[in-house]
Amino acid sequence: MHELDLTRRNPLIDPSLQIWGWETSVYLFLGGIVAGMMIISGYFLFRGRYRETESTSTILPFLSLVLLSTGMLALFLDLEYKVHVWRMYATFQVTSPMSWGSWILILVYPALFLNMLVRQPHWIETRIPLFERWSALLHRHPVGMKTVGIVNMLLGGMLGIYTGVLLSAFGARPLWNSPVLGFLFLVSGLSSAAAFVHLFARNRWERELLAKSDNAFLTIELFVLALFVIGLITSTRAHQDAALLLLSGVYAPVFWVFVIGVGILVPLFLQTLAVTHRIAHSAIPPVLVIVGGLILRFVIVAAGQVSHWTRVAGLP
C-alpha cells in the first residue's frame, strides 16, 4: 500500500480538482428519485390505483415534474457553456450516454404529463378545466391508461439507469468505470422513491407495499454495492486504488457511516420491524433512506473525481 501523502490534493481540501460541483450530485439524486417515482406511479396506474380516493398516484406525476425540473435546473447551473445547451437537441449520437439522456428526458416530460392527466389533484383540476376534459377523454380508453403506466415504468427504468451510465462512460475515472453503476443508481433511486412516497402515503395498503418494497430495494442495493466494490478490487491497480477511497481512504467514514449504516442498515432494520407489526410506521426510516441516497451520489461523484489512472489520491 502507498503511504498517506497529505500533500496530495483532494476535493475535500482543494475544490480545484472537481470537474463537477454539488449541482451534478443533486441532479443525479433527483433524476434517480424521479425515475423510481415513475416506476411506482406507472405500476399504480397499471393496477388501477387511480380509482382509490387516497392513492398517491394522484400526486406522484405532479411531484415528479417538479423534482425533475429542479434537477434539470441544478444541472443547467453546473454547465460551463449554458448558451450552448440547445446543441444537445440538434443531433442524436448513438454512442453518447449524454445524448441518450437528453432525449430520454424529452420523452419523460410528456409521459409524466399524460400520467398526471389520469387524475389530477383537486386544486389543479378546479383551476385548469381543460385538464378535466383531457382526463375524461383518457378515461374512455382503459387500454390507453395501462399503456401510459407501462410507458412511465419503461422510461423510469431508462432514466434511472442513465444517471449511473452517465458516470460510468467516463473511462478516465476508474471509480466510475464500472458496468454496475447504472444498476446501482437505479436501485438506489427506487429505494429513495419508495421512501419518499411512503412519507405522505395515506392508504394503508400502499404504505405497507412501499415499506416492503423499500426493504427489498435496500437489500438489493447492498448486494449491488458489494458487486461494485468487488468489481473494482478485482480489476486493475487504478481500480483497486479507487475502491480504497471508499473502503479505507478519505471517503471511507462518510461511505460506511452515512451510506451503508444510516442510509441502508438502520432503515432496513426499522422498516423490517414496522412491516412485521412490531413497531409503528414512522417517518424516520424513509428520511434516513433519502439522506443515504443523496449522500451516495455525493460520495460517488466526489471520490470519482479524485480517482485517476496515474495518481493515487488520499489513500492510507
CATH code: domain of residue 295: 1.20.1630.10
Task: Please indicate, yes or no, if residue 55 is contained in any of the structural domains.
Answer: yes
Range in 145-149, 168-172, 304-308 with the lowest mean pLDDT: 168-172
Task: Please indicate, yes or no, if residue 4 is contained in any of the structural domains.
Answer: no
Distances (CA, A) of 287 to 153, 242, 294: 24, 29, 11
List helix spans (H) across 90-180. Answer: 97-118, 122-125, 129-139, 142-168
Alpha-carbon distance of 32 to 288, in angstroms, equals 16
Task: Please indicate, yes or no, if residue 100 is contained in any of the structural domains.
Answer: yes
Task: Please indicate, yes or no, if residue 270 is contained in any of the structural domains.
Answer: yes
What mean pLDDT comes out for the span 127-152? 76
Domain span at residue 167 reads 15-306
Examine the pLDDT at 139 and tell me if it is beyond 90: no
Task: Please indicate, yes or no, if residue 8 is contained in any of the structural domains.
Answer: no
Q: What is the DSSP string of 7-67?
A: TS--TTT-GGG-SS-HHHHHHHHHHHHHHHHHHHHHHHHHTTGGGSTT-GGGTHHHHHHHH
* pLDDT interval class at 265 (50, 70, 90): very high
Alpha-carbon distance of 20 to 28, in angstroms, equals 12
Query: Taking a C-beta distance cutoff of 8 angstroms, is the pair 39, 157 a contact?
Result: yes
**C-alpha cell at position 227:** 458487486
* pLDDT interval class at 242 (50, 70, 90): very high
Examine the pLDDT at 41 and tell me if it is beyond 50: yes
Alpha-carbon distance of 85 to 66, in angstroms, equals 20
Task: Please indicate, yes or no, if residue 99 is contained in any of the structural domains.
Answer: yes
pLDDT of amino acid 13: 34
Say which residues have a Cβ less than 8 Å from residue 68's Cβ, sequence separation at least 6: 30, 31, 34, 105, 108, 109, 112
Task: Please indicate, yes or no, if residue 9 is contained in any of the structural domains.
Answer: no
State the Rg of the chain over Cα.
21
Q: What is the H or E stretch that residue 229 is in?
A: helix 204-233
Task: Please indicate, yes or no, if residue 313 is contained in any of the structural domains.
Answer: no
* pLDDT interval class at 81 (50, 70, 90): low
Half-sphere exposure of 220 (CA within 13 A, CB side): 16
Helices (H) and strands (E) in the chain, counts: 12, 0
pLDDT of amino acid 142: 77
What mean pLDDT comes out for the span 157-178? 88
Query: Taking a C-beta distance cutoff of 8 angstroms, is the pair 57, 50 a contact?
Result: yes
Query: Taking a C-beta distance cutoff of 8 angstroms, is the pair 111, 152 a contact?
Result: yes
pLDDT of amino acid 58: 80
Among 107, 109, 113, which residue's Cα sits nearest to residue 134?
113
Question: What's the number of domains the chain is made of?
Answer: 1
pLDDT of amino acid 230: 96
Annotate 23-44 with b (16+ C-beta within 10 A) or e (fewer): bbbbbbbbbbbbbbbbbbbbbb
**C-alpha cell at position 97:** 450516454
